[in-house]
Amino acid sequence: MTDRGLAVVDVGETCEESLVMTLRQAAAYLRISVGHLSNIINGKVPDVPPLRHAKVGRRILIKRMWADEWLEEIGARSLKEW
């Protein structure tokens, strides 16, 4: 915290520590390539739902909670296919 009560952001946070991730951090967190994640976000991967995200200018931000929920949904779908 600063003396004015504003939080100081540690830019050295890893994707596992941050509540909000960049596209690159989210890809690393999900263990997929940045290109594949971009395709998922843009709805270009058949039978895979797009991942919820927020666009801030040209930057894509993804809450870790959204990535976790998306992964749970994908996992539940894969169980139904068996």
Q: Residue 50: how many CB atoms within 10 A of its CB? A: 13
pLDDT (mean) for 11-34: 85
Asked if 28 and 14 count as a contact pair (C-beta separation under 8 A), the reply is no
Cα separation, 76 vs 62, in Å, equals 21
> Residues for the chain: how many in total?
82
| pLDDT tens string 28-51 | 999 999 999 999 999 999 999 999
Angle between helices 64-81 and 23-30 (to 10 degrees): 40
- Distance (Å, rounded) from C-alpha 64 to C-alpha 45? 21
**Mean pLDDT throughout 59-80?**
94
